[in-house]
A and B are shown apart, each in its own frame.
Chain A
Amino acid sequence: MSLQTALYAARSALAVNSTQTSTVSRNIAGINQSGYARRLVLVETNGTEVQSAGVDRATDLALRNAMLAATSSSSADSAINSALTSLQQSVGDPSSGTSPASLISGLNSALVQAAASPQNPASLGAAVDAAKSLAGALNSASAQVQSTRTLADAAMSQSVSTINSLLQKFSAANNSIVAGEKSGADVSDALDRRDALLTSLAQQIGIKTVSGPGGDTAIYTDNGATLFQGGAAREVSMTPTTTLSPGVAGNAVYVDGAPITGKGAGAPLQGGALAGLSTIRDVTSQTYQTQLDEIARGLINATSQSDQTGGGAAPRTGLFTWSGAPSTPSGPTNGVAAQIKVDPTVDPASGGNVNLLRDGGIGAGASAYVSNPTGAASYNAGLQHLADSLGGAQSFDPSSAIAAQSSVADFATNSVAWLEAARQAASTASTQSSTFASQATSALSNATGVNIDDQMSQMLALENSYQASAKMIGAVDTMYNSLFTSLG
């Protein structure tokens, strides 16, 4: 071994050292960059010299996929949870008495009190007011449900355009990786970018990734539709609906013309905000709306009036009326909750006569339905009958997800319970999945992220080896000098 060789070895060490130093600097710079994976310079020996064999980027595919899945389900759960919280405003705290169930109970109490003093227009008026609050609560609950659905629809449309733009960016990053891999360039930064895009995408929609040859990656939705394959992003589309009305389904999300949400999709989308929002828009809110409509229909039926003349005329609407009055709804009907109101002929605020509540014959031309023809002031059988009817069993739509045979009061109570149970489940699921997502993110960060102390100690080692190499060059120089001096 010659002095020349030693000099070359020391020089190559300095060269590798500078690559390593710049990598450490890059690692430290990336410490707060989300999705940044630490690099490590691969060093190989070439005879007596060392040289850099490229930069290795830390990856852990299993942890990354776990993180993507956890992120998707967390954002789905959180979308469901926040929508249920907004639906819950239609119910409120049990003590606030704002839920349809509490207001039915309020109407019942007012009727019981009116039955004790039926001669008193004030107590009849109180019952009519209770009925008005109840109808108003159903109207606003129905509006709340539809506004929640409309907001979900708008958010879905927003999500679809985010997905499209992310897919475009993904396509660019993926192409530069494929090109870089071919030419042997350092593609670490592009890989970082691509991973960060996948995380953003996973928040919007549940995805699976499949790595292909040459650094190419394909993306599929978690129900199997292709989002990105062979370097080409597919078109995701959805037509937003400006105003959704009860019973009308929103438009599905399509990928390349095939639906991935709603009834047309083979399997439902599992993760991502899009899945959560479509569950809210097409399932949860629809079911809740059905329940509200059935409560309204139940109330119209419970307060309907029967023919008192023996003429056998069909029952007609009484205290509560709707767009189809004077007929009562023949079966489950969409949108009754939005239409139900107190009949104006019994409402003093609309110039009506509260005594009709006691005597019967509510509505225009309803003289055949009068049960107290003499107008006796202490007649209370009609009021008592109304209070009893609220507790009488009726049949409800089985698709409302609540016991189909119950009184309208119990049905309303069960509707609150259904909503609160859904909210409890969503709240638990959301807490769990967000904890899981943050654990998965930490695990991935631990596996591929940067530890500043680790980098600093590497830096110290690099400093030392730099000093040693420099010393080495100096020593060789001194030796050459002594050699040349003795020769001279």
Chain B
Amino acid sequence: MLAAVSSTTFYSSLRDPIQRLQRQLNIIEQETASGRRADIGVDLGAGVSSDIALRSQLDATNALIDANKTVIAGLNGSDAALSSLSSAAGAFRQQLIQAQTSPGSPTALEQAAASVLSQLQSLMNTSVGGRFLFGGQNSGVAPLSDYSATPTSAAKSATASAFQAAFGVAQNSTGATAIAGPAMQSFLDNQFAALFDSANWKANWSNASDSPVTNRIDATTTIATSVTANDSGVRQLAQAAVMISDLGLSSLGSDAQKAVTGTALRLVGQSTANITDMQTQIGVATSQTNNAISSLTAQTTYLQTGIDGMETVDPAQLAMQLTAVSTQLQSAYSLTAQISQLSLLKYISTASA
């Protein structure tokens, strides 16, 4: 006897294929809508680890780019502040040169110096995103306190007591007129200069930390991304400004005045050069960070391509699959309809009717 087919199999043989095709169709619909594999885990199996690794790398790269943008914001703020400081120092220098060649009113010079000092203080206290840019690691507090604040600042008292100790008189007192040029020069070069050395600066003037902020700008490179208010350029400018504004320039004899303005001019010159150095450091860090951002951005494109390669489906292939599956499904339906017509019963009943 020939191998028969049971009616159960005959009528239900298309049930499984139709279910399978409908599942496939459902997957194709989902994939067409999202453009991604419907079930990445089942499709890739263990290969999903590469996908996750690429995604983690992409996350880390994007985080670095964002972090670098924060760094750039700080660097730009520092650069702007240093530019202003540099031009303030330049203008002060002009005034000092002028005062040397044609001595005008010492009071005007005193006022100019006081304004330079307050500019210096406000620029060094620039903050971006709650961070004092020139505070070094200790960026949570303003680096420089106000020199002419009430009650008298530590820095101002230190100046006053050094002056008193050296000359036995207070600044702006009538006795100060008698101070000789060389004596003043010696005071400026020694006792007064000592007030602006690193240790006294930190004790009386600055809350900044000497350690600069460092940031990791790519996977391996860590760079210093700040300059601090403890830098010699800042100290020299402050020294020159205090020299002119707070030693009672107008009440000094002309020799002493010359010693003061001469020393101040020399210091401002040095300071300008040092501020330019600071700007250079910031500029180098900015360009390094920008380079890092460009190369990281290039990496993200590459990583995204890798992720897309694993996760996305080819729309052309999907369209072909869709055609194939729907054709198959249609033939399955029409076969089911035809098979249901095929029954001996119909012919027997027709014959006997």
Q: Name the residue on A nearest B5 (C-beta).
A: A446
Q: Known: A113-B66, A116-B70. Contact between A377 and B135, CB under 8 A?
A: yes
Give the contacting residue for B42; candidates A99, A116, A418, A427; CB below 8 A. Answer: A427
CB atoms of A452 and B343 under 8 A apart: yes
Give the contacting residue for B60; candidates A108, A384, A456; CB below 8 A. Answer: A108
A117 on the interface (CB 8 Å rule)?
yes
CB atoms of B4 and A99 under 8 A apart: no
Q: Which residue, A120, A414, A420, has most C-beta atoms of chain B within 10 A?
A: A420
User: Which positions 94-116 of chain A face chain B at CB distance < 8 Å?
Assistant: 94-95, 99, 101-102, 104-106, 108-110, 112-113, 115-116
Q: Shortest distance in angstroms between B61's beta carbon and chain A's nearest beta carbon?
A: 9
B164 on the interface (CB 8 Å rule)?
no
Hey, what's the 0/1 contact readout for A71-110 against B, CB within 8 Å counting as 1? 0000000000000000010010111000101101110111
CB atoms of B8 and A445 under 8 A apart: yes
Chain A residues with CB under 8 A of B7: 31, 449-453
CB atoms of A421 and B4 under 8 A apart: no
Q: Name the residue on B nearest A104 (C-beta).
A: B56
CB atoms of B67 and A113 under 8 A apart: yes
Q: Name the residue on A nearest B211 (C-beta).
A: A376
Give the contacting residue for A108; candidates B16, B63, B214, B226; CB below 8 A. Answer: B63
Q: Number of B residues whose C-beta is below 8 Å from A?
A: 60
Chain B residues with CB under 8 A of A117: 67, 70, 129, 131
CB atoms of A95 and B36 under 8 A apart: yes
CB atoms of A378 and B131 under 8 A apart: yes
Chain A residues with CB under 8 A of B46: 417-418, 420-421, 424
A137 on the interface (CB 8 Å rule)?
no
The answer for the CA separation of A117 and B129 in the assembled complex, in Å, is: 8
Q: Number of A residues whose C-beta is below 8 Å from B?
A: 62
Comparing B47-55, B168-176, B261-269, the segment that makes contact with chain A is: B47-55
Chain A residues with CB under 8 A of B51: 94
B103 on the interface (CB 8 Å rule)?
no
Chain B residues with CB under 8 A of A104: 56
Q: Known: A120-B129, A120-B131, A454-B4. Contact between A115 and B67, CB under 8 A?
A: yes
CB atoms of A420 and B45 under 8 A apart: yes
Give the contacting residue for B63; candidates A91, A93, A110; CB below 8 A. Answer: A110
Q: Name the residue on A nearest B64 (C-beta).
A: A112
Q: Name the residue on B nearest A388 (C-beta).
A: B216
Q: Shortest distance in angstroms between A452's beta carbon and chain B's nearest beta carbon?
A: 4
Chain A residues with CB under 8 A of B309: none
CB atoms of B52 and A423 under 8 A apart: no
CB atoms of A442 and B60 under 8 A apart: no
Chain B residues with CB under 8 A of A95: 36, 55, 311
A267 on the interface (CB 8 Å rule)?
no
A379 on the interface (CB 8 Å rule)?
yes
Q: Known: A102-B56, A413-B56, A416-B52. Contact between A94 and B40, CB under 8 A?
A: yes
Chain A residues with CB under 8 A of B216: 112, 115, 384
A425 on the interface (CB 8 Å rule)?
yes
CB atoms of A113 and B41 under 8 A apart: no
Hey, what's the 0/1 contact readout for B305-323 against A, CB within 8 Å counting as 1? 0000001000000000000
The answer for the CA separation of A88 and B68 in the assembled complex, in Å, is: 36
Q: Name the residue on A nearest B68 (C-beta).
A: A116
A32 on the interface (CB 8 Å rule)?
yes
A485 on the interface (CB 8 Å rule)?
no
Q: Shortest distance in angstroms between A333's beta carbon and chain B's nearest beta carbon?
A: 25
Comparing B93-101, B105-113, B114-122, B137-145, the segment that makes contact with chain A is: B137-145
CB atoms of A446 and B49 under 8 A apart: no
Q: Shortest distance in angstroms between A439's beta carbon and chain B's nearest beta carbon?
A: 9
Knowing that A380-B215, A425-B45, A446-B5 are A-B contacts, what are 8 other residue pairs whose CB atoms are under 8 Å apart, sorted by A's residue number? A32-B8, A116-B66, A116-B67, A117-B131, A413-B49, A413-B52, A420-B41, A438-B16
Interface on A for B, CB 8 Å cutoff?
31-32, 88, 91, 93-95, 99, 101-102, 104-106, 108-110, 112-113, 115-117, 119-120, 374-381, 384, 409-410, 413-414, 416-421, 423-425, 427, 435, 438, 442, 445-454, 456-457, 460
A-B contact pairs, 11 of them (CB 8 A): A32-B8, A108-B63, A112-B67, A376-B209, A409-B56, A410-B53, A417-B49, A419-B41, A423-B41, A442-B13, A445-B9
